[in-house]
Amino acid sequence: MAKSSETSRLSAKKSKPGGRYFYVLVTGGAGFIGSNLALELQRRWPWARLTVVDDFRSGTFKNLAGFRGDLAAVDAVHFRPSEKFDCVFHLASITDTTVADQRLMIHDNVEGFRNILAIARRSKARVVYASSAATYGLSNVRMSEDTPAAPANAYAFSKAVLDNIAAEARKEGTRVDGVRYFNVYGPGEAHKGASASMIYQLGLQIRQGRRPRIFRNGEQRRDFVHVDDVVEGTILAAERGKSTVYNVGSGRGRSFNAVIRSLNAAMGTTFEPDYFDNPYDFYQTFTEADLARSKRDLGFIPKYTLEDGVKDYMKRLGWVKA
């Protein structure tokens, strides 16, 4: 992809006499999405100097194989850099929606963002941060960025607060874009265990010769989006974003029954679902991203359908039968 005018201008600093590198910060860079983002930035922005911040509570060094940048092994709340950054991607947060400790969830997610935003403000840096489709709550309609927040758990509430803080920062002149991730799946999430995507967990069950377990009837619909598409949308927000919030999903809600059909097709199996009752009262039974703003401002067009994304993922995991 060609660089935008902003990134081209910033990269040109490097070649000027007395110029400096383009400094990029990625928080949560050893995690699932963060590591995919950091490695893609390394490939796509060779003129940048990358720093990853991760305390490794939920990330893993294995995700950063081949990373050639700097690393600060500290949480986002306590990160105190000496250098300035030109672009900041803030993905660090507690992402397990079942965490019951509200104080821990909200403190780490909110105060971490507040600290990173202050660092970016001092550096006059471009900021892109991870919001979430969870902020939309228990909706049954297609979700647009103007839909009021209705968080149903502490994780979603913390992300809604991030959106509020970002809105105030924009009024003060900070260029900050939020990217509301929908249900992300793909390489780099295996270390998350029970917090990994349902596509990974159901695929693992099939690989182990077990019927895939899903909530009863299986017709709950989620917007499943491949991590490669999420990384693309995140980088586009940095290059083209207009200092607002953008949905980053596939644009289509698909049922869990459809996920199992896609997994069976990819893996050459014929497992039937094993249905059980849903124990969570905060569970989103429907998510679907309205991508109109993302397409208009960013030119974001997801590459993968559910079927193609699952097939690609199973191949990259090595789970497809020969």
Active site (catalytic) residues: 155, 192
Round to whole Å and give the CA distance between 220 and 76.
Answer: 35
Collapsing DSSP states into helix, strand and coil, what is residue 27? Answer: strand
Q: Identify which of 76, 283, 96 has the alpha carbon closest to the alpha carbon of residue 189.
A: 96
Round to whole Å and give the CA distance between 37 and 271.
Answer: 34
Half-sphere exposure of 200 (CA within 13 A, CB side): 21
Round to whole Å and give the CA distance between 228 and 226.
Answer: 5
Contact (Cβ atoms closer than 8 angstroms) between residue 286 and residue 139: yes
Contact (Cβ atoms closer than 8 angstroms) between residue 98 and residue 59: no
Round to whole Å and give the CA distance between 193 and 59.
Answer: 11
210: its two tokens: 């077990």
Question: C-alpha 235: how far from its chain's center?
Answer: 11
Amino acid present at 121: R
Round to whole Å and give the CA distance between 178 and 169.
Answer: 12
Round to whole Å and give the CA distance between 165 and 174.
Answer: 11
Beta bridge partners, 48, equal 22
Return the beta strands (E) in 182-220 as ranges. Answer: 183-185, 213-215
161: its two tokens: 């607060």
Round to whole Å and give the CA distance between 33 and 185.
Answer: 9
